[in-house]
Amino acid sequence: MATINDNYLKLKAGYLFPEIARRVNTFTQLNPNAPIIKLGIGDVTEPLPEACRIAMIQAVEEMGNHSSFRGYGPEQGYTWLREKVAAQDFQLRGCDIDASEIFVSDGSKCDTGNILDIFGKNNTVAVTNPVYPVYVDTNVMAGNTGVGNDDGSYEGLVYIPISTENNFTPAIPAQKVDLIYLCFPNNPTGAVATKENLQVWVDYARANESIIFFDAAYEAFITNPTIPHSIYEIPGAKNCAIEFRSFSKNAGFTGTRCALTIVPKALKVKAADDSYVELWKLWNRRQSTKFNGVSYIVQRGAEAVYSEAGKEQIKLLVNFYLENARIIREKLTTAGLQVYGGINAPYVWVKTPHGLSSWDFFDELLQNVNVVGTPGSGFGSAGEGYFRISAFNSRRNVEEAMKRITNKFKV
């Protein structure tokens, strides 16, 4: 008799975004003409950069000729892409990362989940609160947690609050932790981490032989030159951190699918036999066995991100969304709402007015002004009373949404 992975039954309700989609669908079925504006899920709306499109069309055409046809590529990604990433994303910033340490994948969501495959089952796992739900749910699935509580938290996970009270700066917890998820610029709060704060974590991880999972999916949105784009800008990070990067938000690849995971060869973790094992070897084996590389066509599109034309187009794209974020901040602030983030990140974190709960504010916005955002409590108990507004939409929609919200919720 086959048995299931019972850890799945511990998972609470649906994943946050499907639940939002469900509520929006129910509303639109009853109100088919409602002019809904979605500032909820962090999905881009602007066209794919021309440089990427040109490269992908060329790649499709290459697939039509014997001499340039590409079958299976390297599971780790093509060298021409990995070398550009290493040079431009890392070495240019003084990070000593080699092309061989970069793994090209089809998404950061996949990688941040799959990375647990190579770790043991007895690690104590730390996440921030609020947190990107995928970190939590994948640990539940892997059996790294106990049961779920009513507030959406799980027994066995260590939650590190990031809130207005600590200026969104995660502090070292009292309990020892082995695997630590940090996402900066932060989803959902839009906060950033300083070099000093990340150094505290790197020092902690090295002293305790812990591993940091650093999610840098939003690094392109950093405007403050003192804020690090990569954890490897922090001395010692190569000995304790894995970094995740994505083309989703900078180059608009949410529907095109390409991401990166960096596993430095200096990263070593103790095995049961007390020997130290290179995590690179384990991840390389995992990817070689359970993955077959990203589409050649898509990798050519990602490569174009590093061309002169691509860099220019991506800068315009990022600035476009950052201007949206600025407008959201300004309009909501003028209306008397308290806002955070949105300066080095495409997310604005809003204190709900009139003491509304996150989901009540979600329903109010949906039903009264037909604007969709994301309830802060969906990211964890410390997100209760907050609301995430995404800057990913057209200028017209952002302006219209702000007009509707501020008219209704002036405080």
Asked whether position 106 contacts its own copies by CB under 8 A, the answer is: yes
- Chosen residue from 50, 96, 155, 330 binding its own copies by CB under 8 A: 50
In whole angstroms, the minimum distance from the beta carbon of 154 to its own copies comes to: 14
Asked whether position 30 contacts its own copies by CB under 8 A, the answer is: no
DSSP 249: T
Residues 217-276 that bind its own copies (CB under 8 A): 252, 254-257, 269-273
Q: Look up tokens 């032989």; give the residue.
A: 209
Asked whether position 364 contacts its own copies by CB under 8 A, the answer is: no
Q: Residue 245: enclosing H or E segment and its boundaries?
A: strand 241-246
Cα–Cα distance, 111 to 85 (Å, whole number)? 17
Stretch of residues binding its own copies (CB under 8 A), selected from 159-167, 183-191, 287-295, 351-359:
287-295
Hey, what's the torsion of the CAs at 76, 84, 280, 230, to 10 degrees? -130
Cα–Cα distance, 98 to 155 (Å, whole number)? 38
In whole angstroms, the minimum distance from the beta carbon of 332 to its own copies comes to: 24
72 is an annotated ligand-binding site residue? yes
> Burial level of 142, CB count in 10 A (0-12/13-18/19+)?
middle
214 is an annotated ligand-binding site residue? no
Residues 309-348 that bind its own copies (CB under 8 A): none
Residues that contact its own copies, how many (by CB under 8 A)? 84
Beta bridge partners of 406: none
Cα–Cα distance, 20 to 25 (Å, whole number)? 9
Asked whether position 23 contacts its own copies by CB under 8 A, the answer is: no
Residues 198-217 that bind its own copies (CB under 8 A): 208-211
Residues 69-98 that bind its own copies (CB under 8 A): 69-73
Cα–Cα distance, 150 to 179 (Å, whole number)? 24
Comparison of 169 and 400: residue with beta carbon closer to its own copies: 400
- Chosen residue from 29, 33, 65, 175 binding its own copies by CB under 8 A: 65
Give the list of residues 6+ apart from residue 345 with CB closer than 8 angstroms, or none: 185, 186, 187, 190, 191, 192, 218, 221, 325
DSSP E strands, 285-381: 339-341, 347-351, 371-372, 374-375
Comparison of 34 and 41: residue with beta carbon closer to its own copies: 41
Stretch of residues binding its own copies (CB under 8 A), selected from 13-21, 231-239, 313-321, 403-411:
13-21
Give the list of residues 6+ apart from residue 231 with CB closer than 8 angstroms, or none: 182, 198, 202, 212, 214, 216, 237, 241, 243
Comparison of 36 and 41: residue with beta carbon closer to its own copies: 41
Binding residues for pyridoxal 5'-phosphate are: 72, 108-109, 132, 187, 218, 246-248, 257, 292
Binding residues for substrate are: 15, 42, 109, 132, 187, 292, 388
Binding residues are: 15, 42, 72, 108-109, 132, 187, 218, 246-248, 257, 292, 388
